[in-house]
Structure formats: C-alpha cells, structure tokens
Structure 1
Amino acid sequence: MTQRRQLFDSTDGPEPFELAMMVLSLIAVTIMLFLAFGNLSAQTHKLLFFIDTAICIVFLGHFFYGLFRSKHKLHYLKHHWIDFVASIPVIEPLRTARLFQILRVVRLIRSSRSLLNRLIKQKKEATLASLLVAVFTILSLSSVMILMVESGIKGANIHTAEEAIWWALVTISTVGYGDHYPVTTAGHIIGGIVIITGVSFFGVISGYMASLFVAPDENEIKQSQREHREQIRQELHQALVRMENNQRQMEINQQQILAELAELKKSKSS
C-alpha cells in the first residue's frame, strides 16, 4: 500500500512535460515489446535500441531537472524513484518500470478536473512538450519505416540503423544532402510525409520563437495584474474610510441638531 502511494503520489493535474513523458513512455514500452518479441533484423533491432536510448536520456534529463528544481529533494526522490529506475537504458528488466510511469500519469489525468485549463495557462511548457513528443515520434517512425522498406532492396542506399537515422534527420530538417535517399515507391511516400511534417514542425518552432520576443512576458503580466489589484484594493479602502468619516460626521450633526431642538423646547417652556 505504501509503495502504491509512492507511485501515485499526487492528485493534482499533470504538468505538460509529465504528459509528454507519458507519451514517450508509451513509445518506449512499444519499442520494448518489439525488441522482446518482434522478429526483427539486426539493423532494425539496433535502430530501435538507439531510439530507446535517446528516450531514456530525455527521461534522465527530466528526472534530474525536476530534482534540481525541487525544494524538498528527499521527498522528490521518495516519490519519483521509479522514474529514475525506468530511465536506465542498458538493463532490460528495468524497462518494465515504465508501465508504472504511465499508470501514475494516467491517474493524475483521471483525478484532474482542469487538465485543459492547466495546459492553456502553461502555453509555453505545453508547446515545448508537444514539440519534444513530435520530434521523437516523427524521427522514430520515419527511421524505422524507411529502414524496413529500403533495406535489402537492389539499388537502395539505406541499409543500416545509422543511415536511417541520418536520413530522417536531414529529411525532417528539409536539408536533404542527397547522400541517402529512398528508391522505392513506399520510401518516396514516407519521405514526402516526413518533408511535409518537417516543414510544419519548423513552422511551429518559428512561430513559437517569434512569440517569445513579441508577446509580453508572463511575469510582467502577472506583476501588472498584481499592481492593478493592489490599486483597486487601496481605492476601495479609501472609499470605505471616507464613508465611515461621513457617517461619523452625520452622527455628530444629528446630535447637534437634537441638542439644539432640546434647547428650543426648554426655552419655550420657560
């Protein structure tokens, strides 16, 4: 029971990067299943291992970044040790720990009633997380698919895992050195899709970078909002003070009028 609480430690909504890590965990688990049970060629197995190692590096970076930012590091280690265990790439049995990563984030999603609002409020983090997931997904799928359709084909020049990854990188970046290229119809279709997604991908990056310089800084907006709220609070306080002073003055005037009326009655009776 205690271990379960450690795995599912929070009932708050997940951060955008936690959602990104969940998606990467799903990809990593899929790769793990293919490596364990798939009838793969040596180069495809090598390529999937490279992709899995790259994802593990991202996991480790996210873990140590969270540890560095945490004010209570022992508490962070206690509740996120499974993330570190699942990020070790070279030990096969530890890869199954990624299932607990997925379950923990799924529980956070289920317990959160304002997931969409949180993503909208954290636009920068959500954009970066989406770009991270997109680049890994595109590179992984394109490199694996191009290796499967091109490897062993007469006249093809993409036969190894390194060549497939290099082709995916230069194609998604729309550089296209021309040293490696598909020769089959399926390879051309895959290449066209990668080029289109690459153009869209870098278009999003350009828009995001432009928004960082053009859009006002969030800290400045929050500071302006705080100053505006403080100004309103002060104005309300001053208005209340004036109302209290006016009320006291009215009471004093009323007492003076009553006193004068009492004197008039006394003078008439005398």
Structure 2
Amino acid sequence: METKVRVLPPNAFDLVMMVLSIISVVIIVLHQFGPFSESEKELLLKLDTGICLILLSHFFYGLFSAKNKKQFLSIHWIDFIASIPAVDIFRYGRIFQVLRVLRMLRVANQVIRHLLKHSESTMLASMLLILLIVLGGSAIAILMTEAGHEGSNIETAEDAIWWALVTISTVGYGDYYPISTAGRVISAVVIFTGVSIFAGISGLVASTLLTPKAKETEKQQKANDNQYRLEVTTHLNSLHQEVADLRAEIASLSTLLQQRKE
C-alpha cells in the first residue's frame, strides 16, 4: 500500500520570505543588467542587503525554535547560504527557497485554510510585506525621479532610503523632500500608505493584547456556568430522592391505615 506523505503548508511569514526572495532575485538581475546609474545600482544593492538581513533573521528564528535542529539545517541550509549579503552568486540560491514553497503551494486548499485559521498572523505578515515593498519601491522611484534635477537634495541611495523611512513613518523632518510634481505624488502615496499600515499594525497589536483577557474571561464564565449546572443538577437529584422517600413513606402509611381498617 502506498504511503501518503503529508506536506505541511507554509505559514504567512514563509510566504512573505518567498516573496522577498523573488524580489531579491529580481533586484540582483536589475543590478547587474539594468540600465541604471551608479547611485541607483547602489540603492538596489542596499535594498537587497536589507532583504538579506530579514531572510537571515527568519532563518535563525526557525533554527532556534526548531525541535530537531539537524533536520532543520538539512532542509534549510540553502536558505542560509542564499541570505549572505554581498555574495552575488549565493543569492541566486534563493530560487531553491522559492521552488520549495511553490511545491508546498500545490496543496492550495490546505494553505488557504491554514492562513484563514491564523488570520491575525496572515494580516500582520501582509502588512509588513506591503511596508517593505513600499519602502523599497518608493526609494527607487524617488531617486530616479529626483536625482539630477536642479535644486534636488535627494541624490544618493542613502538620501532616498532615509527619505522613504521618514516619509512612510510621517515623521517629517524636512531635511530631504521632493521638488518635482512626480516626486510629490510619490510622497503623497507613501504618506497615505504609511498611515494606513501603522494604524492597521496598531489595531492588530491591541487586538492581540486584548484577546488573551477576553479568552480568560470567557473561560472563567464557562467554568462558572459549569459549576452552576453541577450545583443545580445536584440539587435536583436531592429533590428527586426526597420525593421518592416521601412516596415510600406515604405508601407505608397507606398500608398501615388499610391494615387498621381491616
């Protein structure tokens, strides 16, 4: 009889790492073959380095939380090698991570049920992914839009990344700002996106903090209800016993009166 192998579906953060791996491979290809200036290529390299750090963090988190670390290393060793920054040839190893997760996605129904069951983590992972994509995409867009313009103060990769971080967090230091119409449109999109994402993350965090208290209250209420049902059941059983005893006494008295009449 053929044994069926159960494939565990990837969780939300595994899917996020898969998307980041795809983005990283695209970044490396664009860095090597794209018609970009030196500052734009430097920005692409810095964005890829940031993705590498995220992938490494996810790898070490999985390693430390794994019960069987040898088995984890035997499966995910390519993830570690592919996440090493500044080694271009290793970064193409992320294709294997993408292929592995895509293979697990064959059980699409199981994946969807798993993600819906863990809706909070799925939503949080989705927001973080959108945040990273908007950060990287806006930094590239603002550098391509603003660099070279007369009077522009966003000329390097560091300037673009710092502008993206300050703008999406709505801090608004004002040290770097766009001067072109396209740059201001990009800024408006980044600001609205940042406000929406951070509001959503705050709501998820508040929900996560309040959920244990609500569950504890519900658990206590159920315990109280069970105790009340138990007490009522015990009292009813006692009443039934008393009624049975009274019936027995009445029957005994009826028999005694019948005998006296005779």
Query: TM-score, length-normalised on structure 1?
Result: 0.76
Q: 1:29 aligns with which of 5, 25, 29?
A: 25
Q: Look up the equivalent residue of 2:200 and give its one-letter code.
A: V
Paired residue type of 2:188 = G
1:102-143 alpha-carbon deviations (Å, 9 max, x no partner)? 111111111342222211222332133212211210100000
Q: Give the RMSD, CA atoms, in angstroms.
A: 2.3
Question: 2:42 aligned with 1:13, yes or no?
Answer: no
8 Å CA contact retained: 1:11, 1:112: no
The aligned counterpart of 2:233 is: none
Consecutive unaligned residues in structure 1, runs of 5 or more: 1-8, 236-270
Cα deviation, 1:244-266, whole Å, max 9, x if unaligned, reads xxxxxxxxxxxxxxxxxxxxxxx
Q: Which amino acid aligns with 1:140?
A: G
Relative to structure 1, is the Cα distance of residues 144 and 10 closer, same or farther in structure 2, using a 3 angstrom cutoff? Answer: farther
Would you say 1:103 and 2:99 are equivalent positions? yes
Q: Deviations over 1:81-107 (max 9, x none)?
A: 111111011111111111111111111
Aligned residue for 2:48? 52
Q: 1:24 to 1:217 in 2, by over 3 A?
A: farther
Query: Residues 118 and 29 of structure 1: is their aligned pair in 2 closer, same or farther, counting only changes over 3 Å?
Result: same
Matched with 1:260 is none
Q: Match for residue 169 of structure 1?
A: 165
Query: Is 1:145 the counterpart of 2:145 in the alignment?
Result: no
User: Match of 2:205, as an amino acid?
Assistant: M
Amino acid at match of 1:191: S
Cα-to-partner distance string for 1:203-234 (whole Å, 9 max, x where unaligned): 1012112212322369859x959x98xx8xxx
CA contact (8 A) 1:12 1:112 kept: no
Q: Which amino acid aligns with 2:56?
A: L
The 5 Å alignment of 1:58-97 reads 58-97=54-93
Alpha-carbon offset, residue 46 of structure 1: 0.9
Give the Cα separation in 1 of the matches to 2:86 and 2:216: 45
Q: How does 1:1-270 map to 2 (within 5 A)?
A: 11-216=7-212, 224=219
Q: In the aligned structure 1, how far is the partner of 2:98 from the partner of 2:82?
A: 11
Residue by residue over 1:42-81, the C-alpha shift from the partner in whole angstroms, topping out at 9 and shown as x without a partner, is 1111111111001000111100110101111100000111
Greater shift after overlay, 212-221 or 200-209? 212-221
Q: Indicate conservation of the 8 Å contact 1:16/1:129, yes or no.
A: yes
Q: Distance in 2 between matches of 1:33 and 1:167?
A: 25
Residue-pair matches, total: 220
Q: CA deviation at 1:11?
A: 1.7
Q: CA deviation at 1:154?
A: 0.4
Between 1:130-139 and 1:146-155, the stretch displaced more is: 130-139
How many angstroms apart in 2 are the aligned matches of 1:110 and 1:18? Answer: 15
Which whole-Å deviations, capped at 9, do the CAs of 1:127-178 have from their partners, x for residues lacking one?
3321221121010000000000100000111001111011101110111111
Summarize deviations over 1:6-58 as a string: whole Å, max 9, x none: xxx97221111100101111111110110111121111111111110010001
TM-score after normalising by structure 2: 0.78
- Residues 1:104 and 1:187: Cα distance change in structure 2 (over 3 Å): same
Distance 2:108 2:186 in 1: 38
